[in-house]
Amino acid sequence: MNSGRQPGTPSLLRALNDRAALELLLSRGPLTRAQLGELTGLSKVTASQLVERLEERGLVSRVGELAGGRGPNAQLYAVVPHSAHVVGVDVGPDVVVAACADITGTVVARVEQSTGDTADPVGVVHNAVVQAALGAHTNLANVRRVVLGTPGLVDPSTGDIAFAVDLPRWHRGLLAALREDLDRPVHFENDVNLAAVAEAHTGAARGVPDFVLVWVSRGVGLAVMLGGRLHRGTAGAAGEIGYLPVAGGTVQRDLSRKAKGAFQQLAGADAVRAVAREYGFRGSGAPEAVKAAIVHRS
């Protein structure tokens, strides 16, 4: 009876070993063949073959030597940073920011494109992504993935933008259009969700499996991480606290209108700035006003 599982073919095992080695090199830095073999549990011969495959593919290179005891020094290998790139795009109502990072996660280029009143969001994103790649001294073919962070809802079932109050021209069908235009894997994600993922990997929430991130900017948002996994909700609306009903507030029933939800009116950036001004705390924006209040209290 066929269980549906793929057999452990030599090619599959090689791919798994190669990936494990690359992850070790990315997380631990330069390693020798012997160290890779020890950390992966592979024999010296298999580890040497693995390194040779990765060298041939341009993914790793020799970066130095490790002095030892008797015999010649061992060669150190590291991941070639420019072997692959990704582009992250921050989409706002006025400006699109694209940042290109190499395979080590280092941001090597950043560009801004004004959205203005353009009716061509595909063209705006295309130009931003291409310029970011050029700034990283690479080309679009070497960009492995493009991720766009947008305010509003992203439909978990389709990956398309379901609703973005201040981006009226960013709509369903845009994901397919971008994938066809760029000929690259393209993904949408809520911007606050992406901020939570960043905090979990490199920020204040490292090692914390369960947390929420509250975002106060153009709107009020929240992201939920449980068990180390991002929770989007069945309709992609998990964390959209800006539209929570508030006693005495106006219930926003027509989400197609550019209007703030009741909770956003109460606790959004405009409200934070107003309260800060009332108590004498100044700042160019809500975050700066909050920082000024914290400094004064301490």
CATH topology agreement for domains 10-79 and 83-195: no
Q: Does the pLDDT of residue 122 top 60, yes or no? A: yes
Query: What is the Cα–Cα distance from 194 to 162, expressed in whole angstroms?
Result: 17
Phi-psi bin for 173: left (phi > 0), alpha (psi -120 to 50), beta?
A: left
Beta bridge partners of residue 235, listed in sequence order: none
The predicted structure's pLDDT at residue 51: 93
The mean of the pLDDT values for the chain is 84
Residue appearing with tokens 């926003």: 252
pLDDT tens-place string over residues 100-120: 999 999 999 999 988 766 678
CA–chain centroid gap for 57, Å, is 26
Q: Does the pLDDT of residue 86 top 80, yes or no? A: yes
The most confident of the ranges 71-85, 128-142, 284-298 is 128-142
Query: What is the Cα–Cα distance from 44 to 78, expressed in whole angstroms?
Result: 18
Q: Which CATH architecture has domain 10-79?
A: Orthogonal Bundle (1.10)
Q: What angle is formed at CA 209 by the lines to CA 156 and CA 26, rounded to 5 degrees?
A: 85
Q: CATH number for 205-297: choose from 3.30.200.20, 3.40.1160.10, 3.30.420.40, 3.20.20.70.
A: 3.30.420.40
pLDDT tens-place string over residues 162-202: 877 777 777 778 999 999 999 999 999 999 999 999 999 98
Residue appearing with tokens 């969001």: 121
77's tokens? 């290998």
Domain 83-195, classified CATH 1.10.3720.10, yes or no: no
Phi, psi of 106 (to 5 degrees): -80, 125
The predicted structure's pLDDT at residue 187: 95
Which one, of 168, 171, 149, lies nearest residue 160 by Cα?
171
Domain residue spans of the chain: 10-79, 83-195, 205-297
Measured CA distances, 7 to 11, 16, 53 (Å): 10, 13, 22
The predicted structure's pLDDT at residue 77: 93
Which residues lie below 8 Å from residue 236, measured CB to CB, with a gap of 6+?
A: 153, 154, 155, 156, 162, 190
The predicted structure's pLDDT at residue 128: 94
